[in-house]
Amino acid sequence: RMLHQTLAATLVVSNARPARADVTNKIASSSALRALGKVQTQLPIKLLPEAQSNNYAGVKARLREPPFDTLRKNMLILVRGGEDGPKAKELTVANKRLIGVLEAMDATASLGMRGGKTAPDPFRLGIEYEDVVREVDAFVKVGTEAAGIPLQVESSMRSF
């Protein structure tokens, strides 16, 4: 009888499926969205002046200071929190695009700091700044939509 109960309990537990999304990241999504909102408000204050004046060292420095220093972490929280939701693919694409434009801006600043023949076009940082603003806005929009979708739990988990 004891063996039968243990076997039955094992079968029930082995058939249970975990929650569909990463629960920790799903819960942390609202905090990540607040941090990304701060990035949106700080872009024109901290990064725009550096980009407009072609201050390459300033651009590199600002990208490594708050609130921009935790941008990737907060983006990843939203991607993991929505990884199995209906916005998962859109969120992943927006994430890759934003990382791409941030890395492009950082690379331009590195080239500008070296100077000489490798110096970038003087308008390039301004254009890349606009790309960053556009992609941050797009990511926040999709991230907000994805975070608003409730956590999906398998019906077998609800009985626990």
Greater confidence, 3 or 82? 82
Query: Binning pLDDT at 50, 70 and 90, where does residue 26 land?
Result: low
Greater confidence, 84 or 104? 104
* Tokens (6 digits) for 29: 């999504």
**pTM (two decimals):** 0.78
How many angstroms separate the CA atoms of 151 and 22, rounded?
9
- What is the phi/psi pair of residue 20, to 5°? -70, -40
Please write the tens of the pLDDT for every residue from 68-102: 999 999 999 999 988 888 999 999 999 999 999 99
pLDDT of residue 81: 87
